[in-house]
Amino acid sequence: MRAINANSHLLLVCMAAIAAILAASGAANSGIDLFTIDGQPVVLTASEQNREEVWNYFNPGSVKGGFNENQYNFLGSWLRLGAGYQLDGIKGYAELMVPYLVNLPDKAIAPSPKGLLGLGANYYQPYGNANDASVFLKQGYLEFGRELLGGFELKGGRFEFFDGVEFEPDDLDSELKWLLDNRIKQRLIGNFGFSDVMRSFDGALATYGDDRWQASVMYGVPTKGVFDINGMNEISDMDLAYASLNAGPKMFTSPAWGNSLFRLFYIYYSDTRGLPLVDNRELKGSSADTGPVSIDTVGADYVRTLQAGPGVIDLLGWCAGQFGSWGTLSQRAYAVVGEAGYRLDNIAWKPWIRIGYTVGSGDGNPKDSTHGTFFQILPTPRQYAFFPFFNMMNVDDAMLQLILEPHSGMEIQSSIHGLWLDSKEDLWYSGGGAYDNRFFGYSGRPSNGSDYLATLADCQFTWRMNEHVTLQLYYGHAFGGSVIGSNFPSGREADYGFIQTTFKL
């Protein structure tokens, strides 16, 4: 392990001590009451996470001066400390975040087009530090409740936002809630919660509705973060607007509606940072297209569960279309997701078998005036790509998934993905959106005339030991196809795994 300076070492010790306190705080609920003001408590919230990642990325082979570092491990940790106070329908909340990275690889950035060799390289790239830490304001907002504003709820300041779950009724059954949280949430907008720095939004969120339906409107400027450890400032020259109309299971009593959730949504995204755009034109230097990007996304999703014999069937559909401008080009793109499953709730381990197919459009002609690659905006990509060497851009993803519940609080997700490029005239994309003012946020490698990307087999085990402690283990293996083989001829197979512990009050 590389050396750590004295201040960083002290911070690591403090974080470990706080983690031990959180793990031992079995009597706590969602926070600790510190003191009261006018009879209402000021509540302390705290959470801490440690994840040791092990990477064996696709082998870039030898380069001038030696080999690139595609095999490595590193530790990513964070601590979140917040305090909230609520009185007469008004809530105030402030939260600090302390991310900490140890033993990042310093030789995991290969010459183009091989590029970044796993997430360790992403964290190392902004500042070139093998060990790093920071402190910044993660959230700080005022929230005005429905009882105060006659059905409206208003939040303003710095907050996290997750598209798809702005309306999540409390009494959803377990299958419908799982589908909403795992297969709808954060496809296009999220906090990139898998990263050790994450992102927030500075802006406002307004909602109106009841337990049957809800309308939501949000405007926000994303903060730095994700792979840039200094997450305090906003990303300049970037705007995001979101609106949705949601209907829940109680919207209609008709059996034809049943146990359903439906959402219509609209997203406006503007990026005028002036960075070279990543697309299949592969323009470089003085000929690079530097924007601006202005994209409107219109979409809908529907998810339903229904009893069928001894089990439960689930159906899920998600779609989005895009128009606007991509630098000097017109944006015309789409994405479609269809999934179905069957769960046996009354037998051991409650086996749940699911199948799905995702299409994220690619660009079929790099020489015309249209950009046809679906743009994933600001998502949490790891939600849908557990081994994050791909995303929803220019990809066809055929999925077979098995979910097991061996014990209360335990979950095993195993899946196989067949991955193809939607257009072999386009690039193999990865990334999860803008995270500072220097890097575009998405990268692309050439297809070299091929379309078979990879077959991915993986398994994730999650154990929620109690309401305070969660353990997670993951392992995935990618069998690279012709696209990966043409970029990494020295080794087209890759492995990724981690062990993660999360503590919260």
Is residue 1 in a domain?
no
**1-28 average pLDDT score:** 45
Q: What is the pLDDT of residue 127?
A: 96
Angle at 50 between CA 79 and CA 430, to 5 degrees: 100
pLDDT greater at residue 282 or residue 407: 407
- In tens, the pLDDT along 28-65 reads 346 899 899 998 999 999 999 999 999 999 999 976 65
The position carrying tokens 């000021």 is 42
Decide if pLDDT at 14 tops 70: no
Decide if pLDDT at 260 tops 90: yes
* β-strands 71-87, 40-56 pairing: antiparallel
Is residue 323 in a domain?
yes
In this prediction the pTM is 0.92
Q: What is the pLDDT of residue 285?
A: 85
Q: What is the pLDDT of residue 63?
A: 66
Is residue 196 in a domain?
yes
Q: What is the pLDDT of residue 284?
A: 87
Query: 133 near 8, Cβ under 8 Å?
Result: yes
Tokens, residue 5: 């300076």
Average pLDDT, the chain: 93
**127-140 average pLDDT score:** 97
Q: What is the pLDDT of residue 208?
A: 96
Query: 482 near 452, Cβ under 8 Å?
Result: yes
DSSP secondary structure, 356-394, as one string: EEEEE---S-TTSSEE-S----B--GGGT-SS-S--STT
Is residue 251 in a domain?
yes
**324-342 average pLDDT score:** 98
Q: What is the pLDDT of residue 151?
A: 82
Q: What is the pLDDT of residue 198?
A: 97
Instruction: Give the DSSP H or E segment for 8.
Output: helix 6-24
Please tell me the distance from the alpha carbon of residue 11 to that of residue 23, in angstroms, as a whole number: 18
pLDDT greater at residue 265 or residue 30: 265
Q: How many CB atoms sit inside 10 A of residue 328's CB?
A: 13
Domain, as residue range, for 50: 6-504
Please tell me the distance from the alpha carbon of residue 254 to that of residue 263, in angstroms, as a whole number: 18
The position carrying tokens 């792979």 is 227
Q: What is the pLDDT of residue 66?
A: 57
Q: How confident is the model at residue 149 (pLDDT cuts 50, 70, 90)?
A: confident
- In tens, the pLDDT along 183-233 reads 999 999 999 999 999 999 999 999 999 999 999 999 999 999 999 999 999
Is residue 121 in a domain?
yes
Please tell me the distance from the alpha carbon of residue 141 to that of residue 203, in angstroms, as a whole number: 9
Q: What is the pLDDT of residue 146?
A: 81
Q: How many CB atoms sit inside 10 A of residue 437's CB?
A: 16
Q: What is the pLDDT of residue 7?
A: 44
β-pair partners for 241: 219, 268
pLDDT greater at residue 258 or residue 62: 258
Is residue 328 in a domain?
yes
Determine the residue type at 465: M
Assign 3-state DSSP to the chain and report helix, strand, coil percentages, each to 5: 10, 50, 40
Is residue 167 in a domain?
yes
pLDDT greater at residue 309 or residue 16: 309
Please tell me the distance from the alpha carbon of residue 295 to that of residue 318, in angstroms, as a whole number: 19
Residues ≥6 apart with Cβ < 8 Å to 71: 55, 56, 57
Domain count for the chain, please give it.
1
Decide if pLDDT at 464 tops 90: yes
DSSP secondary structure, 195-252, as one string: SSS---EEEEEEEEE-SSEEEEEEEEEEBS-TT-S--SSBPTTEEEEEEEEEE-TTS-
- In tens, the pLDDT along 69-126 reads 999 999 999 999 999 999 988 999 999 999 999 999 999 999 989 999 999 999 999 9
**151-161 average pLDDT score:** 95
pLDDT greater at residue 297 or residue 89: 297
CATH number at residue 86: 2.40.160.10
Please tell me the distance from the alpha carbon of residue 16 to that of residue 501, in angstroms, as a whole number: 12
Residues ≥6 apart with Cβ < 8 Å to 500: 49, 50, 51, 52, 471, 472, 473, 474
Q: How many CA atoms lie within 13 A of 330 on its CB side?
A: 5
- In tens, the pLDDT along 342-373 reads 999 999 999 999 999 999 999 999 999 999 99
